Amino acid sequence: MNLRTNCDVTQAIQLLHNCLSRQISREALNWLEEKTNYISQGAAQRLFYTAFSAVPRYLGKQQLTLSTQDLRAAAAIRPGWNPQHWSVDQAGRTLIVLSLPHTDVEKYLWILEQVFTTADVRELVALYQSLPLLPHPEKHCARAAEGVRSNMTSVFNAVALRNPYPADYFDDLAWNQMILKAVFVGSPLYLIHDSDRRANPELAKMLVDYARERWAAKRSVTPELWRFVGYSEGELQALAKVLQTNDIVQQEAAALACAHSPLPQAQKLLACYPHLQAAIGRGDLTWSRFSRDRLGADV
């Protein structure tokens, strides 16, 4: 199945530590270092639990400031890892979780389970964001899928957005549910890591069914969902319908879907809209430009 990535925990710890040490007080850093040292040396679980909760009391909650080098380093340590929007407490909590000894897998997972099932919202966000960095990544699949089922948008987004874990570890069923839910709750799909790689016919079918349902109720759909569509005749009919609207944003998205479709009829359909076809041909219209210009993506 998908490419599996094991993260170098030591490097991740080093990077987060460096970033925090530039931003928090010496006193706060001392506190954090002391706790992570004890935890990594196998301190009692209660020290881990209380330290994990107490992080904002000592570090505060401001945004983490990262340089472009930091971000590049992050992506090198763990492909797809992007802590750009993390806060100081999230980074601190991740450090504490990464300090937890993990050679006894069963015990390790049990301790994590205690934290997950008692966490408050901010703690959950920190935990789900740190999933791609944790040892034994394949063991956290059910937990991540649980996060996707959350009714808290911030928790759902912590799993789904700017997080390489789902693309690397979810099976198609869990992956497709996540994309569909992102559409439902209005989360920007362009922030879902590696979504093009995980596109699949089953997902396309679900998305078009969803679009038809919305149209029947005289409602609109996000143009982003066309990005995953274009595998069948029926889907092309939907795209043809979108191309006929006078909504340029929807039209551009449908045109891009045609351009990326493996079906020859899709190219024929696109040829009926020469200005869009030409823009795509020139490279003026791409999914990333579309996300930036039409959806306000800051990437």
Partner 1 sequence: MMFIDPHIHMISRTTYDYMVMREYGVVAVIEPSFWLGQPRTSAGSFKDYFSSLVGWERFRASQFGIQHYCTIGLNPKEANNEALAAQVMELLPLYACKEGVVAIGEIGYDDMTPAEDKYFCQQLELAQELDMLVLIHTPHRNKKTGASRSMDRCIEYGLAPSRVIIDHNNEETVEEVLARGFWAAFTIYPHTKMGNARMVEIVRQYGCDRIIVDSSADWGVSDPLAVPKTAQLMLERGIPEAQVRAVCYENALAAYSQSNQFSESDWLTSTIDQRELYYGNSVLRGQTPVVETSRDQILIE
- Residues lying near partner 1 in the complex (CB under 8 A) are found at 45-46, 49-51, 53-54, 56-57, 114-115, 117-118, 120-123, 150-152
The nearer residue to partner 1, 49 or 215, going by C-beta atoms, is 49
The nearer residue to partner 1, 18 or 154, going by C-beta atoms, is 154
CB of residue 57 to partner 1, shortest distance in Å: 6
CB of residue 219 to partner 1, shortest distance in Å: 20
The nearer residue to partner 1, 32 or 256, going by C-beta atoms, is 32
CB of residue 125 to partner 1, shortest distance in Å: 12
CB of residue 44 to partner 1, shortest distance in Å: 9
Closest CA to 92 of 52, 133, 124: 52
Q: How far is CA 131 from the centre of its chain?
A: 11
CB of residue 112 to partner 1, shortest distance in Å: 12
The nearer residue to partner 1, 153 or 267, going by C-beta atoms, is 153
CB of residue 241 to partner 1, shortest distance in Å: 32
103: burial class by Cβ within 10 Å (0-12, 13-18, 19+)?
exposed
The nearer residue to partner 1, 15 or 148, going by C-beta atoms, is 148
Q: How far is CA 30 from the centre of its chain?
A: 32
The nearer residue to partner 1, 30 or 245, going by C-beta atoms, is 30
